[in-house]
Chain A
Amino acid sequence: MSSNDEKEKLRISRRAFLRTMGIGAAASTAVATGVLQAPLAESAVPPKVEGLDYVPVELKVNGRRYALTIETRRSLADVLRTELELTGTKIGCNQGECGACTVIIDGRAMYSCLLLAVNVQGKNIETIEGLSRGGRLHPLQSAFIEKDAYQCGWCTPGQIMASKALLDKNKNPTLAEVKTAVSGNICRCAAYNHIFEAVLAAAKKL
């Protein structure tokens, strides 16, 4: 490998790291220099990017097994949505802040955008699509409709999965416990009051 290639590779991984911090971070490094000194490329060899290795992966989602070959760098949320076409799991930030991508993994509510798909093999993954069968809704889903516990609907699957993880362990939660359970799930429409009512109503029916 020529030293040029080495530099290229190094540069990409550093930038890739900065990328995860958003354009803000990249900008703050650039601005200090005034004129950006990034060298123009001379190399004719295709650049290398890390994380491009494809590996076979087996996922267990809603009781069904899926065998896939995917890039190691792909998140569970991304694989659920684009490979399995389970788009009920939403992405609102893709960086572990909003909770729209909440799924249940071995009984725990987790942000699927922060997990690499390769790391959750062999685990039980539950998504919103696993809650209803043959047109029969889970009590949480019925309660969300009854109480108008959503507005735009983007955070709704995450709210329901976070609530389900709570109710699976605690059949009779208090209002405070419900609030804590969904406190990692932003609802920008702020349907919170109705969400609390829905979860408490569903708990009574379970």
Chain B
Amino acid sequence: MVSGKKTKATRSSVAAARSSVVASKPKPWGTIIAVIAVLGLAGGVFGYAYSQIHANNVKEAALAKWKPSDTNKDPSTQLAGIVIKEYKGSRHVEPTQRVAYDQTPAFGGPHDSQWADCTGVVYDKAVRTENMVHGLEHGAVWIAYNPDQVKDDALNKLKAKAEGQQYTMLSPFPGLDKPISLQSWGHQLKVDNADDERIDQFISSLRRNPNTYPEVGASCENSQFLANPAPFVAEKPGADAVPMDGGKDESKTEGQQPNMSTPPPSGSASTPPSS
């Protein structure tokens, strides 16, 4: 035991002595520090560049998810709670007529010939749905809010998303069943508060998405309407309202099947649609 220990100690002291003889140099601290410093600096620069690019890429990827493209024609299908219905671009109604919309707020179907101006407009008062729907047909997103539930800060957040932003409109919608409801042609999403990230995702996915609205290239400008917006009508539409399919009165159908505008042979006018 004792001898063993001694041997070890001797060996190590020999080794130490040897190394101090063979390689006995004082460590080149200057060089070591310089090398570490240069490497550290290079690593730092690279790390910074990488983290910036990486953060940017992550942001891009997050955005791309909600960006319409050839391979992702309607990104809104990934949104939790989205309601999608297919509506054809269509029939115009008179300023005095109502449409029996199948959704509240409506997001497709027959509409007034005057589209609500959607050049980034904040409507302070509630607007007639028949006009708003026409704005949707031109590619706009309509942000509707319940004026009893969305005020002050929350309302300002919505205004920032709409005011001056082309193809966007914001208006109160009295009696709305949720605080906020987003509409684009054939699409709707209801959310509870203005901070919900799905609001921006909905806008990114659907505003002027050429795959989801009927009249690509249509203008949002309508200063005539803006000067005097048609007011919201709270009463439910009556029996005389235009139905969602545009009704059987083909003479009022704009641009569709012009041949049908001639009066049908007697008897067939009241024939119910075959089912």
| A-B complex is real | no
List B residues at the A interface (Cβ < 8 Å).
Answer: none
